[in-house]
Each structure stands twice: as structure tokens, then as C-alpha cells.
Structure 1
């Protein structure tokens, strides 16, 4: 069997299997938007099919050649050459991708990225739905707090969830916003004041309930405003199945 062609086929097989596995188990939402599940399964199936056809073609002639002309790696004296093809080393990361699913982006990526709030600028905000507390996304709260000066948040109680980014003694509730996939992810950060659990570590997921405050910070990465929330209650939650907002 041709070594490099075999490596390429095995890598295709592993990558296709990884795509199918991550899409089927739901972990694909760590990397792309939820609506892309069946596209990933279809793409993975195509890669697996191509790899299977290539491997079948590579092994079939090799098997016939062994019967007719002796083993391909024989040195002519009845001994194999024992030569190792270095290109097989590329299979290792592809195999790791199949077996180990990388986590969703967290506090490290968020702390090195400027807030995405600037891309959501608008001045048209309808009233929040009736009933308190009302669940809102971090992007919605931040947009209303900054661009509407908190007008539609006054006298209301909101609840939202995100992971913690630590900056000195400050704690930011954060979610990553994606347009297509994790490669274009940018954070939205909400500063927390009030009843914030002391010593909350980075990447801890919290569900917080609170009220609007006019306090803001400037994001050190891009200078965009970071609004604050006065927390009344907060408790840890598991990482949600869909960690990103869009």
C-alpha cells in the first residue's frame, strides 16, 4: 500500500468520524451554530465514504501483489525492510480529534477579545415582556443598558446566565457570541456588583438575578462600554448544552 496515500485516507476517515461523532452527540454546538448539525453529519459521511473507497483501492492491489510477487517491503533476501513512514505521524492529531472533544471557548478567549457590543448598536428597544424576573440574553441586556441608557430596564428584574471572567477584583458575566462558528466568536461582558459570590473562579457558570445599574467600565481590549448588573441572587449552574449566543 502506498504510504502517503494510506495516511491521507486514514486521516480523512478519522476527520469524517469526528464530524459525525460531534454532530450526533451534540458537542458540535461548542464550535458552530445549532442549525448546522445535519450539514456536519452529511460532510462527515462524505469524508468517510471517500476514505473507505480509497482504502479499498489501495489494499486490493497490494493483496494481489503479495501473492504474485512477494511482499512489497521484502528486501529480496526474505526480510522486510522495517522502514517507518513518517507521514503516519499526522494520524495522531486526527485520532485525538475523534477521541477527545475540545471544550467550548471560555474565560481565556473572552479576556483577550474585545466586547462585541459595538456591533449590536441600535436605539429601538421595545418594552420587556411582563413578569419579573424576565430572562434576557447578555447581549440584549448589554444593548439595552448602553444604547437605551437602561430606559427599558428600569424597575425591572432580569435573570441571565454566563461564565465568569476575572479581572483583578472584578467579575464579569460573559457569553461568547458567534455568527457562524467559534472562529468568529466575540465576548459580551456584564460587570457584576452587589451579591456576587465571593471568590468565584474564572469559567464558573452562574445564573444571576438582578437589576439595572448605570455603572459601566471600558473594555481594556477595544474600549467599548461594559455595563453592570446589581446582583440580588446568584448560583452556579452546569455548562449549558448550548454555550454560545448568536
Structure 2
């Protein structure tokens, strides 16, 4: 690959990173707190690209006479490296969803070092799936009992075909995403397609099961009502 090709690829790649960072698109790839680092990376790549392209044209002009009769260009196939970068610019892949959740075992929820703090006042209480699962499995639901709870996630399916509520948990980026899954009793959604985002209102259930992928305990929630919602701006937990 010649220097001009390298510069164009860098420019497109840096532009793709900046485009994603300036919108909510970056939240499909990394956690929210990494946005400043993405912007800095995009700026550096664009700057490096501009310098590389400028140097390429300058060198071509300066050494035009020396280059007569010689071919110093790399193979044209190097330009094919632009294709995945254009794909990143033109096609935004969806956030990880039910397929990823079904392929990976549920997150091993960490036990708290002490009693879980009481939930905020008011019903229903907004909780993350991760927080609910932690309280349900390691606090025996003590901080959840007697409260109406509201959780948001997408639909995935258990091996027996029953619907589950799930969310992908990130440590850093989508590459390390792992699902946290909840079973649903009571009045769970019926015939709702996988990857549909729903908001569930329900109460604590003592029922548990095992995730067949990694044999981790899976908590349940007793559903009172549910409704379909749009995918949140931040789809990951």
C-alpha cells in the first residue's frame, strides 16, 4: 500500500470515529465514559491522515523526475482496505441483542459485601436488570419485597422457548459484552419477537433457574404489566 492509500484510509477511519462520537452512535460500541477518548483518537487520526496525504503529494511533486521509468506504488489491492471503513461510515450495525444473549452465558452477578441499601421512595421503582438480579440472588429479595419494580430490557428466549428479559453488560466495549438475563412469571409478554425492547412492571419472585450456557443462577421477576418501548439511547448496562 502506498502512502496516499494509507492517508486516505486513515482519513476515512478517523472521520468514521468522529462521526460516531459526535452522535449517540458510539454508544453501540463502547461505554458512555469513553467518548472523550474516541474524539481525541479521531482527531489524531485525521491529523495524521492530512499530514500523510500532504507528504505524499509533496514527495510526488519533488521527485517527479527521479520517478520516471520507475513504479514505486504498492499494489492496487491496498485500496480494498477502504471498503470496511466505508461500511463503518455508511452502515451502522445494531447494538448487541438477543442473538448475543443466547450465545453467551449470563453474567455472574457479584454478591454485595453488606446489606443492600433500601430502594428509593415511590412505586414503581426504576431498577436495572443487573441491580435487580443482584438483590434477588444475594439478598434473597429482602430489599425488593413489597415494592413495585420497573425494569427495561429486550426480549430473548430461554431454551424452552419462554421469553426472558435481558440487557448486555459492558466492561469496556461491545467486544466484551455479556448478557444479564431474567426469567419472567406472572403475565409475561406472549408472541413478542426477539430483540423487542419492553418496559416491565412487576414484583420480586423467589423463583430461579440455571442458565444452560454457563450454569449461572438466573433470577425471575413476576410481571404485572408490560409495554413495548423504543430502544434506549444507551442500550447497554
TM above 0.5, one fold?
A: yes
CA contact (8 A) 1:117 1:143 kept: no
Shift of 1:12: 1.0
1:159 aligns with 2:150: yes
Q: Within 1, Cα distance between the matches of 2:227 and 2:101?
A: 21
Which of 195, 200, 206 is 2:192 aligned to?
200
Equivalent residue, structure 2, for 1:239: 231
Equivalent residue, structure 1, for 2:177: 185
**1:29-68 alignment, distance < 5 Å:** 29-63=27-61
Q: Please give the secondary structure, in 2, of the residue aligned with 1:102.
A: coil
Shift of the 70–171 alpha-carbon distance from structure 1 to 2, 3 Å rule, reads same
In terms of Rg, which structure is larger?
A: 1
CA contact (8 A) 1:65 1:72 kept: no
CA contact (8 A) 1:189 1:226 kept: yes
Under a length normalisation based on structure 1, what TM-score does the superposition of the two structures give? Answer: 0.88
Shift of 1:69: 7.4
CA contact (8 A) 2:155 2:166 kept: yes
Show CA shifts across 1:9-61 (max 9, x none): 21111110111000001211111111111211111010001011101111223
Show CA shifts across 1:211-241 (max 9, x none): 1111111011111111111111101111110
Q: Please give the secondary structure, in 2, of the residue aligned with 1:141.
A: helix
Q: Is 5-14 or 20-29 further displaced after alignment?
A: 5-14
Equivalent residue, structure 2, for 1:141: 132
Shift of 1:65: 5.3
CA contact (8 A) 1:191 1:229 kept: yes
1:19 aligns with 2:17: yes
Unaligned runs of 5+ in 1: 75-82
Q: Within 1, Cα distance between the matches of 2:153 and 2:85?
A: 31
1:117 aligns with 2:87: no
Shift of 1:93: 0.7
Equivalent residue, structure 1, for 2:117: 126
Q: Within 1, Cα distance between the matches of 2:90 and 2:133?
A: 38
Under a length normalisation based on structure 2, what TM-score does the superposition of the two structures give? Answer: 0.91
Q: Within 1, Cα distance between the matches of 2:218 and 2:17?
A: 36
CA contact (8 A) 2:163 2:189 kept: no
Shift of 1:5: 2.1
Q: Within 2, Cα distance between the matches of 1:111 and 1:6?
A: 44
Higher helix fraction: Structure 1 or Structure 2? 1
CA RMSD after TM alignment: 2.0
Deviating 4+ runs (over 3 angstroms) = 63-66, 68-74
Equivalent residue, structure 1, for 2:91: 100
